[in-house]
């Protein structure tokens, strides 16, 4: 078979694999509407979990098929031609950027990393010079000058297909109009002075749907999100109007599970979202809509560009050194890099695979706005001259089994990447009294939100939590994470004899999954003044019955409401019940 024939065979096999992946991905995504209309929240959680694995399954299938044709040998001329032909296939492809990433994944599974350059894979996208897909493919425009604001808003909400009827749309539109007037300068404009653009497809996650759009005036754009919830009787209602860009960023934040949103042109959808939330990176937005592999690609490209444009060195991350991970960062780049240690400190009795499994568990799970998303990379190459000497020494001491040096580069076999946050224990050293009180209240709420998502963080020390730029407390150390329902919460036995009272070790038996909530606050927050603040707002955290009740709710299938936006912006507080 000639090189051109081989190239045609390889390129079509890979593109067919991608098309199968995207079709399956979109099928489960489209079904989110039906799950929302029926209130089938458990099916939604299951779909969100299994959807994450679809990509790797299709890559494996495609790789296996090609391996039979290549016999693990790279025909350089054939694969150079394959890449060129594949690039031509994508010229007018509506998911071209995703198809590039799929190609990279298949090739990197087939061949040695020495071929991972732009001649063989898409290290740099080839789409930057292509005509971008029109944003209009993803949104509808409305003109209040024609029908007036009230009827326009009613039409907008009517055009978004949720698969269910509203409880009282007329009243909801009244509340929505009032909120627009109260919250935005756009509310003071006349109907002829604005246009409203709304994404055609709603965003689904957990127990909520979201309508996303913008008001366009002659001078500026006003972004907005309208959460739509479901009553216990199956009727819909508008719950709030979010126009604050920080609150919108939290809804699309890295500590939440991925949205289900049907899109034919992901690049157009992401560009629309980027216009609304300019501080969000492309990587964050692709991740938010469930395209986490594309998110990894965008992140890695951005990291490479940043390395080229900067000259600072990677250094050890601030904070107390962990017993399981060695953590480092690039001061000019807002992420931390984590490598599993060869040997664990502090008597940690777990395997390397257990740590990996727990990080992947959090990836698949509902993170409830309180657990940072993580990228997992293999065989990452970093120029040696960008690594500070003391960090390199620490890496060679603690994670040597994950390292290799080749041609002036440090190759890390497995690397986890998370958004950099201010470690909570460090913030509490310099925060104002008012800030400290607010943060300790949120720390307790973070624990409760994780409980609602069936997560027991295990090690709740302050150093394992961080503050985002929005001053939200987020957990980021997952080596001891377990499901809440797997734990055994016990009341601390009372000593009955003098010997028991003075015993240096517990005189009662303790099984591996036993937890005594009475001790949690003392262990996690040893500083009395901080512990008092925590218990001022969350005294139930040291009551075993509270934890047992949460377990019972989970076993009964109760999905607790966890709102990703402030209670104060809701239209009908405490009247209707349904949420994320």
466 is in an annotated binding site: no
Residue at which a domain ends, from 398, 420, 442? 420
Query: pLDDT tens-digit profile of 301-322?
Result: 999 999 999 999 999 998 889 8
Residue at which a domain ends, from 374, 393, 420? 420
- At residue 184, does pLDDT exceed 90? no
CB atoms within 10 A of CB 300: 17
Residue 98 lies in a domain: yes
Query: pLDDT tens-digit profile of 9-51?
Result: 999 999 999 999 999 999 999 999 999 999 999 999 999 999 9
Are residues 548 and 410 part of one domain? no
Are residues 233 and 163 part of one domain? yes
Query: pLDDT tens-digit profile of 185-215?
Result: 877 788 889 999 999 999 999 999 999 999 9
Query: Which residue in the list 373, 442, 449, 477 is annotated as catalytic?
Result: 373
Angstrom CA distances, 576 to 136, 169, 176, 247, 573, stand at 35, 14, 16, 22, 7
**Which phi and psi (to 5°) does residue 404 adopt?**
-155, 140
pLDDT of residue 574: 44
55, two tokens: 């990509």
Q: How confident is the model at residue 127 (pLDDT cuts 50, 70, 90)?
A: confident
Are residues 564 and 432 part of one domain? yes
200 is in an annotated binding site: no
pLDDT of residue 575: 46
Q: What is the signed CA dihedral for 509, 511, 512, 513, rounded to 10 degrees?
A: -120
Domain range for 532: 424-569
Query: pLDDT tens-digit profile of 243-270?
Result: 999 999 999 999 998 999 999 999 999 9
345 is in an annotated binding site: no
Strand, helix or coil for residue 209: strand
C-alpha to C-alpha distance for 262 and 282, rounded to whole angstroms: 18
Mean pLDDT of the chain: 92
436 is in an annotated binding site: no
Are residues 88 and 183 part of one domain? no
Query: pLDDT tens-digit profile of 296-305?
Result: 999 999 999 9
Query: pLDDT tens-digit profile of 522-563?
Result: 999 999 999 999 999 999 999 999 999 999 999 999 988 889
Residue 126 lies in a domain: no
Q: What is the mean pLDDT of residues 452-458?
A: 94
What percentage of the chain exceeds 90 in pLDDT? Answer: 80
Residue 36 lies in a domain: yes
- Whole-model pTM? 0.93
pLDDT of residue 25: 97
Are residues 313 and 380 part of one domain? yes
Residue 130 lies in a domain: no
Residue 123 lies in a domain: no
How many domains are contained in the chain?
Answer: 4
320 is in an annotated binding site: yes
Q: How confident is the model at residue 429 (pLDDT cuts 50, 70, 90)?
A: very high
Are residues 175 and 286 part of one domain? yes
Are residues 445 and 313 part of one domain? no
Are residues 436 and 411 part of one domain? no
For the chain, give the longest Cα–Cα distance. Answer: 88
Are residues 150 and 91 part of one domain? no
Give every CB contact of residue 335 below 8 A, 6+ residues apart in sequence.
Answer: 303, 329, 417, 418, 419, 420
Query: pLDDT tens-digit profile of 468-479?
Result: 999 999 999 999
Give every CB contact of residue 431 below 8 A, 6+ residues apart in sequence.
Answer: 439
322 is in an annotated binding site: yes
Q: 477 catalytic, yes or no? A: no
CB atoms within 10 A of CB 442: 20
Between strands 488-489 and 514-515, the pairing is: parallel
CB atoms within 10 A of CB 171: 14
């Amino acid at each position: 078979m000639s090189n051109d024939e081989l190239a045609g065979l390889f390129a079509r096999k890979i593109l067919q694999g991608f098309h199968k992946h995207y079709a399956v991905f979109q099928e489960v995504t489209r079904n989110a509407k039906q799950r929302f209309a029926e209130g089938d929240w458990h099916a939604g959680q299951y779909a969100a979990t299994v959807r994450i694995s679809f990509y790797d399954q299709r890559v494996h299938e495609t790789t296996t098929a090609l391996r039979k044709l290549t016999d693990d040998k790279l025909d350089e001329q054939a694969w150079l031609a394959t890449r060129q032909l594949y690039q031509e296939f994508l010229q007018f492809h509506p998911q071209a950027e995703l198809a590039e990433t799929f190609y990279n994944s298949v090739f990197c599974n087939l061949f040695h990393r020495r071929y991972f350059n732009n001649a063989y894979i898409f290290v740099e996208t080839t789409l930057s010079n292509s005509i971008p897909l029109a944003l209009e493919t993803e949104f509808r425009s409305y003109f209040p000058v024609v029908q007036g604001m009230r009827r326009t808003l009613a039409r907008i909400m009517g055009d978004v297909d949720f698969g269910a009827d509203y409880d009282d749309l007329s009243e909801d539109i009244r509340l929505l109009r009032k909120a627009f007037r109260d919250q935005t300068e756009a509310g003071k404009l006349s109907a002829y002075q604005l246009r409203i653009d709304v994404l055609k497809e709603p965003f689904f996650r957990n127990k909520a749907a979201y309508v996303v759009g913008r008001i366009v005036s002659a001078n500026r754009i006003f972004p907005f999100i309208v959460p739509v919830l479901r009553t216990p009787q199956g009727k819909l209602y508008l719950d709030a109007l979010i126009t604050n860009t920080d609150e919108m960023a939290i809804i699309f934040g890295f500590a939440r599970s991925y949205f289900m949103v049907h899109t034919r042109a992901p690049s157009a959808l992401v560009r629309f979202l980027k216009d609304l939330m300019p501080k969000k990176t492309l990587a964050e937005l692709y991740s938010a809509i469930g395209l986490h592999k594309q998110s990894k690609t965008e992140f890695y490209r951005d990291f490479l560009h940043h390395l080229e444009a900067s000259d600072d060195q990677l250094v050890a991350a601030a904070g107390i050194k962990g017993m399981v991970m060695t953590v480092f960062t690039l001061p000019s780049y807002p992420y931390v890099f984590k490598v599993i240690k060869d040997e664990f400190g502090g008597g940690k009795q777990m395997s390397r695979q257990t740590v990996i499994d727990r990080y992947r568990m959090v990836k698949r799970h509902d993170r409830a706005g309180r657990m940072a998303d993580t990228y997992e990379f293999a065989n990452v190459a970093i120029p040696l001259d960008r690594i500070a000497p003391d960090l390199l020494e620490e890496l060679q001491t603690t994670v040597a089994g994950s390292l290799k040096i080749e041609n002036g580069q440090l190759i890390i076999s497995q690397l986890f990447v998370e958004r950099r946050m201010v470690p909570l224990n460090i913030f509490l050293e310099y925060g104002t009294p008012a800030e400290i009180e607010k943060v300790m209240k949120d720390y307790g709420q973070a624990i409760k939100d994780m409980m609602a998502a069936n997560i027991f963080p295990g090690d709740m020390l302050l150093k394992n939590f961080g503050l985002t730029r929005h001053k939200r407390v987020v957990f980021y150390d997952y080596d001891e994470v377990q499901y809440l329902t797997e734990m055994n919460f016990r009341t601390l036995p009372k000593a009955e004899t003098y010997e028991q009272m003075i015993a240096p070790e517990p005189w009662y038996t303790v099984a591996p999954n036993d937890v005594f909530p009475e001790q949690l606050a003392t262990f996690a927050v040893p500083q009395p003044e901080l512990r008092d603040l925590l218990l001022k707002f969350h005294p139930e955290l040291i009551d075993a019955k509270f934890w047992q009740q949460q377990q019972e709710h989970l076993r009964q299938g109760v999905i607790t409401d966890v709102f990703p936006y402030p209670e104060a912006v809701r239209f009908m507080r405490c009247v209707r019940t349904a949420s994320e």
